[in-house]
Structures are given as C-alpha cells and as structure tokens.
Amino acid sequence: MARVLRILLALALFVVLPRGVAAQNGTVAGRVTGEDGSALIGAQVSLSGTGQGAITNARGAFLIVNVPPGSYTLQVQMLGYQDSEVTVQVAAGQTVTHNFRITQTAVAIEGVAVTVGSRRAVTAADELAVPVDVFSADEIQMATPQLEVATILQELSPAIYFPRPQIADLTSGVRPFQLRGLSPDHSLVLINGKRRHSTAVVHVFGAASGGAGSSGVDMNAIVPSAMGGMEILRDGAAAQYGSDAIAGVINVQLRDDIHRPEFSASVGQYRPEYFDPDGERFEFTGSSGWGLGERGTLVLSGMFSSRAETERAGPDPRDQIVPGDADVVADTNGDGINEIIQKNNAVPMPNHVIGDGASKNGGGFFNLNYALNEDQTHNLYGFGGYTFRRDLHSGFYRRGLDNRNWPQIFPLGFLPHFRGDATDFMWVSGVRGFAGQWNYDISGQWGRNSLDTDIYQTMNVSLGPCLDASCSNAPGESLGPGPDGVPGTGDEIPNKTDVYAGKLISNQAVVSADFNRGVDIGASSPLNLAVGLAFRADNFQIEAGEAASYVNGNHPTRSGGTAAVGSQVFTGFRPDQAVDKWRSNVGAYVDVETDVTERLLVAAAARFENYSDFGSTVTGKIATRLQAGDQFILRGAVSTGFRAPNLNQSYYSHVSTGFRTDPNNPGNQIAYEIGEIPVESPEARALGAESLREETSTNYSGGIAFTPVERLTFTVDGYLIDLRDRIILTGSLEGPTVEALLAQFGAPTVKFFTNAVDTRTKGVDVTARYRHLLPAGTYLELLAQYNRNSIEVTDVHVPAVIQEIADQVFDSGDRYVLENGRPRDRATTRARFVHERFDVGLAGNWYGQQVDRLEEGATPAQDVFLENGPHFVMDGDASYNVTDGIRLSIGAENLLNARPVVVPEGYNFSGIFPFDSSSGLSMNGRYIYTKVNVKF
C-alpha cells in the first residue's frame, strides 16, 4: 500500500503541472425544462462515452467543464421523462450552450444526484466502483411518520442498526446508530458533502454492542423536512473523506428546489398488546423554497415534535416501604407479563419506566445558493440549522426502605429522572465554481452540540433528610456536616430534589479547499484529478454541576452507614472533572479516477493527516469497476482507514451509579459506584494506561450489479474490515491489584478508555429494486434489501501492569456482546403502488435470530442463553390526494404487534424488565397514525 501511495502522490504532482492540451478544453452549458417551461431539477446530463456529466440545479441549469475539443453526443435522462440527445461540437476555449425541453412519460419520480463515492460528476449510482444507496426525498418521507432520522435510517437500510437502550443514563436521550455492526463513530456523516460534528455525549451505558464509549453523530438533530435526498456509501472511505469513515459514509442532501410553502401534520399513538395505549405523538414539519432573482434559491425548513412516554415495565414484587409489604404478582395471562393480584403497599405500579421517554424536539434548517455571475461559474452557498430537544427519561427506582432514600423526603421511594436539553447548531458557508480548468470549493464551517443535564425527583443521600437550610439538629431533621466533615463550620447545605448536573459541549470548526479538474491522458475519458486541504479544530468541554449534585455532605445513611455521594441515578460533574480541551489537525488528499477503457474504470486516493495530539497517519484506496457486459458490472475496492480518538474519549471523567446482578440472587440488582477516569489521569497511568492513538483498518470489498431487464437491478456486495487498536471502555476494574495501584489516590471502582481490541467484520449486502411504469400516472415499485454481518474479536491487548486482571478490562461477556450483541441478519422490503390520486404501501423489517447470554456459568456448558428472534415487523399506509394541494394518509407501523422476546423469570429483574431491550425491534408495539400534507 505504501508503494501505491507514493505512485499516487507522484501522479498528482505530474498532472497538476500546466499542460497545453488541457488548457485548450471547452465548456458545455444549458438548461433542462419540462414541456411547460418549468425547470427540472436532478436531470442527468452527460457527454456519451466520456464519463463527464452534470446534474441540473434548482434552475434546471447544468455545466460540464474541461471538455476536450471534438464532437460529442449530449444526452439528458430523467425518470418519468423521455430521453433526449443532440450532437454538439466543442471548440478549444469556447462554451457551447444547448437547452433541452423534454416530454413527460408515465410519471415523474424525483431523481437524486450521487455525490459520495467519487469526486467526479456521477449521474447514477451504478457508475461507481463502490456501493452507494441513493434515496429520494419521497422515500425518506414515506419511510416512517416519525421525525427521527435515526429511525428513518434503519427503515431505509438493513445495514443500519438502531437499538433502543433502556435506563442508559445520557444515552437514553441521544441513542446512537451503527453501520455494518461497527461503532457509531466509525460512520462519517456529511451534510451537503461537509463533515457533521459529533454529539457531546459519551455513550457509557446502553451501547455495548459495538458502541460503548463512542460519541457518534446525533442524527435526530437533523430536520427531516430539510432533506432532499440521502446517500449511504457502504465502503471504507477514510482516504477520500478523512477520519471516521471506516464503516462508510452517510451524506444528507438538503433541499434546494423552488417550491411553494408546504406543511405536514401527523398524530399517532401506540396501541400495544397487553399494555394500555400510550406514547402519543404530535409532529409538524414545514418547508418553502424561493427563487432569488434569476441566480439563486433559498430553502427554509422546520419541525416540531412532541412524544409522550411509553411504559412497558412490569410491577415491582419486592418489599417497598417496610419489610414484608411486597405486592403479590403473577403472570395471569401466560404472556410473560406480571400483574398485581394483591396490593400490599401504597407505591403506584409500575414504579419503573421501560420504553421511550417523553421528548420535545424542534428546530429549523436553511439552504442558500446564489450565483455570483451570470453564467453561474462562481456560486456562493450557505446552509445549516439549529435544533433544541428536551428528553425526559429515568433510572432505577429507589424504594422507600432503601438506604439510598430518606423517607422524610420521599416516604414511598422515588424514581430519579433525567432532563436532558440537547442544543445543536451548524453553519457552513463557502464559494464554489469553475476557474481556469479547475472546479473549486472553498468553505468554512462551525458546529456545536451541547447537553445540559438536570436530575429531578432525586436526592443526595449524604446531605441528609432536610430540604431547608433552617432545619434543626433534631434526629431526622439535621443537615450533614458538610464537605469538611465537621458540623457547624458553615459549609452545610440542604438536600435538593432537582439539581443541575452539568453540561457537555462539543465544538468543531473546519476550513477546507477542494479542487478538481479533468486531464486528457489519452484514456477513454479524461482523468479526474481532485486535490484538497483542510484544517479542523475540535473542542470538548465539561462544565461542573451545582454542589448538591456531587458534594459529599458526610451525613450517614438512615441505618448509620456511609451514604452514597451525589445525586441519585447520575452524580453531577465535579469542578475537578471540568475540562476545556482543543485539538487541531491538517489533512491533505489526492484523488484520481478515469475510464481506462470504455468498460474499465480505475480510481485511487491517498490522504495524509497530522493531529496535534497523536501525530500523523496516511491512508490509501484503490477501486475499480468493470462493465463486463451491457447489463453486468463487477466492482471492487481495497483501502486503509483510520479513526482519530474523540476528545471525549481522552478527557471524559465522571462517577456514576451502576447496577449488576446480585450473585446470591440473580433476580436482584446491586448498586455500585463506577468512576470513568481520563486516560491521561494519574490514576489511569498507574494502571498502565497510555495516550489514545488512532484506530486503523484495512477494508476489502467486491460485488456485482446486474440489470437483466429495464428498471430491474440486483446488487451483491461482500466486505471484510480488519480493525486494529479499537478503542473500548474497560470493564469495572476493582480488587486487590487495583486497590494497591490506586492506594495513593483513594479512587473508587474505575474505567478508562484504551486501544485494547482488534476485530474482523465480514458481511454481504444484497439489494433488488424494480420499478414498473404503467399508463395514466400509475407505477409499482418494489425494493428488497438484505444484510448479513458478523464480528469476530481477533486479539485483545491489555496494559502489562494489569495483565493479571485482563478479564476485567475485556472479559468474555464483553467479547460475547461485541460479537453477538445485534442480529447477524437483517432485511427490509418495500412495495408501493401509485394510481392517479391514490397510493398504498407495504413495508417489512426482518431481524434475524440474536442469541443473548443471560448468565455466564462456571463452564461454557452452564452458560444461560436467550434466543431473541427472528422477528418480522410489517408496516402499511394508504394516501389519497384530495386536491392537488391536500394529501391525507393513514397508516400503522408494526401492524402485527411484534415485540422483543420475553426474558425468563430469574433474569428479568424480578419481572420488572419483561423484554430483551438489546433488540433493534421496539418494545412499544403497534403505532397507528394519520397525517395530512398541505401544499399551497
């Protein structure tokens, strides 16, 4: 690979030199309109046989630059319209202008430009050497009525897995997705081709199946009505786009079309089996696009959604307020869900919340494009958005008789809740166009994600049972001695039931310059040369919470023992955990691609990155595509990749409460304190931790695309990803060895991030798409997709100092979850029939069998497993266009009320957690909705 990179760099230096033949090339420009003269957006315009082309913009305009002199067939294609072509003669240094007016055929279906996977102008996904799924705005809107982009992703692609973790601290509100079974931060997310910033949240709990310790992109901070299309590149692309693109790239294209105001409103509710209806959702979106004179467009989009809580917990059969007052419960229906058959205490049941927490989400996006000159060779652009989301979710219930409760404050016990306020902002502006023989794109951007966290219906047990600073020192009413442990010194503070726990902030700034041109090298098409340079600065901050959320008030528990410190369920960030860290990096790349012959395409890329905190890395990629026949394509790629460790992973620090199975009673959970410490801290260093370094990968992929008849396409793509030095969050390190090493620090049970694991991911993606056009505006579209994905841990390397407790760093349970924590098989199917004003759709999601290990036995034969699945989820909807501007829809998701497997007694927390929450299948049940779309 090193030799290949040297060749690529040498080639880049050679082709960027001025060449007389290239300097004499010409330009082809024009517009594409319908029969009524209206602009057609997304039409594919190409010079037949050259590989050069363009996609029409919001004005229907196209521009093909750097065309060698000669005679060409200029062709335009768009689904639902008749093809059109004309012969043009291009002279050196001149611009040829030709306008098309094309005729509509059966039905116009929105086309989407392909902008990832290649840096040359590509007009269709099958022109690429790597697999890219392209989805239109219509497909995105019809995927699900719910305004969650992560849910949309899973509905569109079986390679995407979106688990719904329960009682997972901050992760419960910012749930990550996974591509090809890898970590959430192994997928690069782009907006209009520009890097999207990551969430500030570090996923400590609830993302163990490949994502523990990750900080991926918060997809639900993107406004769905702003999306004009989406591309999912299922191939390693770090050499092309930089860090994180190990599993692939998701590019969201924002709407840029001129359109009258349009709005949609949706109302729905979950109607599960065995539970009361709940989870009401009210969702609104809007969008409008304006023309800015004859030169530009501005699109504004917005949304607001409100989601009520869903509850799928069983009653708590344990003693609650005093010993012996437990309710009597039983599975009366034989469905695995307990019910109360005798009420013996005053605690309302269920006292836990399992399901989706309540949420409100709103915000807006904009997309601006404006030509700086009349021929549109220089264009100003800007886009971005702001969203605010409040998520409410909860932890484990603290019973009235628990030492983590003061009955003077909560006589019946309490369920602590999170109130997470996530704010997300992104701004990108730049200029792009054509100068000399070069296309250029120069931009600057800033992204920010933050999470303010309040814990309510909670308490800090160490502050004592008093909520008022004027409390007396009478038994049961006293304040704690305060942080100094000495009564009466003035540092005593009262307890609080609603505390501010602190704030996480992630900032990212990028300045980039990209250039590409075509160079005539005597091949079947001009060599497309792309070079670029980018500077990026990342920042991670932790702001401390208020004192009551973390301070040790030194008050003993109600039974006289040592009290738990900090707000229950989530201890606030302490001042000594506050950080404000920056990192910068500079990256440069070269990317070349050409049709060596009319049937053989070859592409290669190399990238150099230098980071201020861990040094440099070089990656490369080679890809090829062979048109083996008129209807048969072979393609393959090999690449190296990397992912820079997030600043979050290097500097995150927090002490939290965890729960584990009581070895003496598997049905009970025991609370314990866990400290996640920075890898740079003295405590971590004492345990042998080293500064985090980049993860590296080698990706291999190969596949075929076959079109036996018109509008029917099959693709099969296999892949293998070797990932080295994968960053994990260790297990809870404890015991004599850890105590001895950390004696001078007095640290609690700790975890830290380390490059400890190598993995191999193997899989295959299969797609089949068919579109049958009929007369009178009627068509039938069918799509089936399948993904098989497996992960194997190939090596574990643990710091030598703690080699004897290697099983705590990454134990057999961690290995099992990483290798088996998701279904290996996933499939989606969609069918849609459209006839004049009416259309109907059916969709299916299939989750293959997943085997979860509930308990590790003394020998493998004694391990306890649970077969989860397979599951099939069917969705259906029907719509009717009442008028040209009003569309009514009704539908249901999970028509058959499929649900995750019921966990057997003894492993379901006394029946409180009835369902296996590791499944991607939601436990919420059937969702019924109605929707209205209005276009003015």
155: which DSSP letter? H
Per-residue pLDDT, 208: 52
Residue 327: pLDDT band (50, 70, 90) is: very high
Per-residue pLDDT, 20: 40
pTM above 0.85, yes or no: yes
Q: Give the chain's radius of gyration (CA, Å).
A: 29
Distance CA 430, CA 434 (A): 14
Q: Give how far Cα 850 sits from Cα of 313, 854, 862, 918, Å.
A: 22, 12, 19, 9
pLDDT in tens, 731-759: 888 888 887 887 776 566 788 899 999 99
HSE at residue 330, side-chain half, CA atoms within 13 A, is 5
Distance CA 65, CA 71 (A): 15
- Check: CB of residue 120 under 8 Å from CB of residue 113: no
Per-residue pLDDT, 242: 92
Determine the average pLDDT of the residues in 101-128: 68
Per-residue pLDDT, 550: 92
Whether the pLDDT of residue 559 is over 60: the answer is yes
Per-residue pLDDT, 146: 84
- Where is 736: in which H helix or E strand? helix 736-741
Determine the average pLDDT of the residues in 267-272: 96
The pairing of strands 100-101 and 61-67 is unpaired
Q: Look at 800 and 790; give whichever has higher pLDDT.
A: 790
Q: Which of 388, 380, 369, 385 is CA-nearest to residue 197? A: 385
Per-residue pLDDT, 842: 95
Average pLDDT value for the chain: 87
Distance CA 847, CA 920 (A): 8
Residue 630: pLDDT band (50, 70, 90) is: confident
Q: CB count, 10 Å around CB of 904?
A: 11
- Check: CB of residue 298 under 8 Å from CB of residue 292: yes
pLDDT in tens, 390-437: 999 999 999 999 999 999 999 999 999 999 999 999 999 999 998 888
Distance CA 55, CA 127 (A): 14
pLDDT in tens, 14-55: 444 444 434 468 888 888 888 777 778 777 888 877 767 787
Per-residue pLDDT, 95: 86
pLDDT in tens, 860-891: 788 889 988 899 999 999 999 999 899 999 99
- Check: CB of residue 763 under 8 Å from CB of residue 181: yes
14: which DSSP letter? H
**Residue 576, token pair as written in the block:** 């000594």
pLDDT in tens, 480-525: 888 888 888 888 899 999 999 999 999 999 999 999 988 888 888 8
Handedness of CA 216, 220, 223, 224 (dihedral sign): positive
Per-residue pLDDT, 111: 43
Express as a percent the part of the chain with pLDDT over 90. 53
Per-residue pLDDT, 79: 62
Distance CA 162, CA 851 (A): 17
The pairing of strands 187-191 and 248-254 is parallel
Determine the average pLDDT of the residues in 431-451: 93
Determine the average pLDDT of the residues in 109-118: 65
Whether the pLDDT of residue 10 is over 50: the answer is no
Q: Which of 240, 266, 263 is CA-nearest to residue 251? A: 240
186: which DSSP letter? G
Determine the average pLDDT of the residues in 127-154: 87
pLDDT in tens, 348-376: 999 999 999 999 999 999 999 999 988 77
Q: CB count, 10 Å around CB of 454?
A: 22
Express as a percent the part of the chain with pLDDT over 70. 92
Determine the average pLDDT of the residues in 101-124: 66
User: Which residue stretches of 208-332 are H helix?
Assistant: 238-241
Per-residue pLDDT, 667: 56
Per-residue pLDDT, 935: 92
Per-residue pLDDT, 349: 96
**Residue 648, token pair as written in the block:** 């979050």
Per-residue pLDDT, 227: 95
Residue carrying structure tokens 């109607």: 271
